[in-house]
Structure formats: C-alpha cells, structure tokens
Amino acid sequence: MSLTAIVLAAGEGTRMKSRHPKVAHKLMDRPLVWWPVHAAREAGADRIIVVVGNHADEVKAVFAGDADVEFVEQTERLGTGHAMMCVRDALGDFHGPTVVLYGDTPLMRAETIKNLVEHTKGGHYACTVLTMSPADPTGYGRIKRDAEGNVLVIIEHKDCTPEEQATLTECNSGIYCFCGRRLSENIDKIGNNNAQGEYYLTDMVGIYREIGEPVSALLAADDSELLGVNSRVQLAQVTKIMQERINNQLMAEGVTMLDPAQVWVGPEVTVGRDTELLPMTMLWGKTAIGGDCVIGPNTRLTNVTVGDGSSVEETVGYDTVIDRDVTVGPRAYLRPGTHLCDRAHVGTHVEIKNSTIGEGSKVPHLSYIGDTSMGSGVNIGAGSITCNYDGVNKHRTTIGNDVFVGSDTMMVAPVSIGDGALVGASSCITSDVPADALALERSDQQVIEGYAKVRRERLHKEK
C-alpha cells in the first residue's frame, strides 16, 4: 500500500515556555514529533513529510539519518490549510491516501491510522475526519452533521455561534485521511475569511460537500490517543499514559514489575519473559533484555543488549552488550563498547569502557577498565585500574585467560599480561608480563619491632 503521512509541526508552542520548539520536547526518550512519525511508519506510510517552521533545524535534527522523512518549511504560519498548501507547492501534487497528523499528538496508534485509511478507501471518500467527544469541547473545531448523520462542515470554536458551541459536542481531532488526488485539485479553494484570518484545513469538508464529493467522520475508539501537548503539565499526562500503555503490554507478554509506575520503557525496547523490572528503571533506545533477568532498581540502560538470566542492579549503561548469566552492580557504569561475556561479573563502583570482559571473568570492586581485552576466568582485584590515557592518546591493555590481578594494581597501557599470569597486589605494571609469570612491583616492607608501642607512650606523655 502506498500511503503518505503529513505531520504538521510548524507551531510555536508558546505555552511550553521554552527556548526549544514544542515538538522537540521529549516524551520518554523520544521527541514528541518522533511518535506520530513512528506510528505512520508502523501503519505502512512509505512517504512521511514533516512540516516545520519554528526552530526548523532542531526539528529536522530529530530525524537525522532517517531516509524516509522529508521536510517542508512553512515560513509564515497562516493556518493548517496553508501548511498543506506549502507541502503541495514544495513537493507537487498529493498522491494516494494522504494522512494528516499533528507533531504534538504523540499517542496516536498505528492501528487507528490504518483504520482511518481503510475506511476512507473503502467508502471512496475524498476525506475522513477522525472525531472525538471530549468532556470539555472548548477550543476544538465542531462537527456539524445533517439529519441523516452526514457530515456537513467543521466549524472552528471561535467561528461557532453560542448555540453551536453549546450543542455541537462532536469535535475535530485534527487527524484526517484525504484522497490525495482530490485534495490537490481542491486545496486552493480554502480561503481565510474567518475569525482568525487563517487558512483552515477543516474548510475542505464544507468545500467537498458543495462540489458533491463524499466526506465521512469516524469517531475515535479511544479519545486518549488524540490528546495534544500544549503545556508541560500535558506533557507529563501524556507520558503517564504512554508509560501505562507500554508497561501493560509488557506485563501481558510476561514481564513482572514490582511497581509499574516506577518503570519507564521506551517504544523500541524489548523485554523477555519472566524478567523482573524493579523500581526506578529506565530502558531507552534500542535496548533488548532477554528472559529471566532482573533489572533495577535504579537502573538506566540505553542501547544495551542483555542476555537471558542476567541481573543488572543500580547501573547506568550505554551501547553495551551483556551476554547470559552475567551479574552487574550494584552501582556499575558501563560505557560504550563494553561487552560482558557469559557469566562475567562486574561489581560495585566499577566503570568499564570499550572493553571485553571474558567468560566468567570478574571485576568485583572499585575498578576502572578501559580499552581492554580480557580473556576468560580472570579475577581483577579491588581498586585496580587500566591506565589507558597518557593525556593525548588512548592505549589498549590485553589480559589473557585465567590471569589473577591483585588489588590496587595499575596497568599502564599499552601493556599485556599473558595467560595464567599473577600480578601482586599494589603493583604498577608498565611492561608486558609473560604467560604464567609473577609480576610484582612494590618496595620491600620494613618491620620495626615494638616501635608503635614506644611511639604511643611518648605521645600520651607529651599530652
């Protein structure tokens, strides 16, 4: 199916009280405008056009690298009809079913878009308007139907008579599906003779009625999908709804949550069966969690893959791969390029960057491991550090299999430690250690019998 989606996102969003465009504000880890674009994609749109105006560059940056998103700039904001005329002028005629979405209405489901398109195609309508019946219709355009229930016209709130304001309670959601060809042929008929002096896209309904083209209105199954964000309070409300929607879906699929109100899972995250998500956990980006894992509490993972049976406690991680039956935390920091192989353990106050920790290897306490390849069965003693940075360049540390590194060891890269080697505690390793060798770098210990007692007694006397 060829489907075009147009996302209107040129508005100012003054009520956000922000230096940034409204649609760039984040709902979870994604800007508002990302959500309708994603829904359009899921609904099968093969052409997505975002109309930008205010802070156009910041809005465009949201889709950097997305080949399927095009932009049209609306330099003057003369209304929703004008925004669509700008698209037509910039890109040529509309083709096939053309859906109009808003950049500040992020809860719209792909399913709803699909239904709207099917309904429009099925009835050969020139336009279908998605409508709703909110408890308070103030501000919305009102749907006027004739005695048979056919849609006659949409009247903006400000253009309604007081009687119409009181009696017409079915409202325009602002979401439509148009037949592209008929929209191209007729969009120039929109004028701006109304209370706001704007070109209203809603006028298309009345225009089609007059020329005998069939129009239809579809009442949305779930009004909450049409909630728009105009303020930060509404942004928080919409976030809550999306959080619930995603968490309910995950729980239905077999994920346990001690308190779903304290778990945030982004739209492109997957979580396997029998995994438990504990409070204050955020899973963002393309994170993929396996089954039988325990994640959290107090954990934020962004683009992290976690294999089955692993636990990640009180941890922040980015761009990391964690294999199966790995234990991480509490309080670990996993930075980009980290790979923790099966049964590895990364413990408390440990930071790992751009490093592989081999199968069953352990970095249990207070360590920094950067730019390191570590084999299997290694034990890194508490407080050990790979010194990977000389102030200008980064260097690698290579640690073989079954190496035992004593506590408080500095490994000054570039350096390598061979299989089965032993490094004595508190050593500063600056040259390579061969396999099966002992490396020790520390001064000899002195012992002076009885000295502590003599000193203690002298200090007490002086007091």
Give contact residues for ligand UD1 (rule: CB under 6 A): 8-11, 51, 74, 77-80, 82-83, 102-104, 140-141, 154, 156, 171-174, 200-202, 228
Which is closer to ligand UD1, CB of 77 or CB of 365? 77
Which is closer to ligand UD1, CB of 174 or CB of 297? 174
Closest separation in Å from C-beta 216 to ligand UD1: 16
Closest separation in Å from C-beta 192 to ligand UD1: 11
Closest separation in Å from C-beta 19 to ligand UD1: 17
Residue 414 is given by DSSP the state S
Which is closer to ligand UD1, CB of 15 or CB of 394? 15
Selecting among 124, 365, 395, 460, the annotated active-site residue is: 365
Which is closer to ligand UD1, CB of 234 or CB of 298? 234
- Residue at shortest CB range from ligand UD1: 141
Directed axis angle between helix 34-42 and helix 110-122, to 10°? 50
Rounded CA-CA distance 49/65 in Å is: 15
Burial class for 194, CB neighbours closer than 10 Å (0-12, 13-18, 19+): middle
82 included as an active-site residue: no
Q: Find out whether the peptide bond into 214 is cis, omega within 30 degrees of 0.
A: no
Q: Find out whether the peptide bond into 31 is cis, omega within 30 degrees of 0.
A: no
125: closest CA among 209, 201, 185? 209
Which is closer to ligand UD1, CB of 174 or CB of 180? 174
Lookup: tokens for 45: 């749109």
Closest separation in Å from C-beta 10 to ligand UD1: 3
What is the full DSSP assignment across 269-328?
-EE-TT-EE-SSEEEETT-EE-SS-EE-SSEEEEEEEE-TT-EE-SEEEEEEEE-TT-EE
Helix boundaries (H) for 123-266: 162-167, 180-186, 203-211, 232-252
Q: Among all residues, which ones are annotated catalytic?
A: 365
